[in-house]
Amino acid sequence: MSEIVNKIKQSKLETVDLEKFAQGVEVAELDLKDFLFHGLILKEAEYREKMDAFDWQQYTNKYLAVHCSTDAIIPKWAYMLVVQHAEEYAEDVFFGNKKQALSEIFKLKLDSQDWADYKDRFVLLKGCSKIDVPADVYMYATKKLLPHVKKLMYGEACSNVPVYRKK
């Protein structure tokens, strides 16, 4: 009987699992409609009172996504006030919903990666993950990898789609 050989482990293929960049990331959402009169009108004094009374500690060690789910007109200073209150507790504060914030967090973490480590390598951006890695994150990672890699693929080692090959 012949020995079973794991050809995937023997290959020069390096897998980049984007999901790992989100490990330990918890994103909470703050909807500003809850701070508005009838969810639609920003009354400055009332808004400031609600901001001061709000429990900001609930965002300790979390990322905060700030948005308004109604068609209210929110002045820019109102978002700035959120940052002023939340920055003591939250890891970081982002404009937008949870999905938009997650994309920004991924990009910040991808920016801290040394992509030169993948110089002239065959790289696979892993396709399956437990979390839904947004398409814009794959695009961003591709832009980071293209100047360095010899070949870039998407998917799984046993089944991948070629994306780029250096000529």
Phi and psi at residue 30, to the nearest 5°? -125, 120
Per-residue confidence (pLDDT) for residue 7, from 0 to 100: 47
Query: Is residue 162 classed as helix, strand or coil in its secondary structure?
Result: strand
Is the per-residue pLDDT at 24 higher than 90? no
Per-residue confidence (pLDDT) for residue 1, from 0 to 100: 65
The whole model's pTM is what?
0.81
Per-residue confidence (pLDDT) for residue 12, from 0 to 100: 78
Task: Measure the CA–CA gap between 147 and 150, rounded to whole angstroms.
Answer: 9
Please report which confidence band the pLDDT of residue 11 belongs to, taking 50, 70 and 90 as the band edges: low
Per-residue confidence (pLDDT) for residue 15, from 0 to 100: 93
Task: Measure the CA–CA gap between 129 and 158, rounded to whole angstroms.
Answer: 15
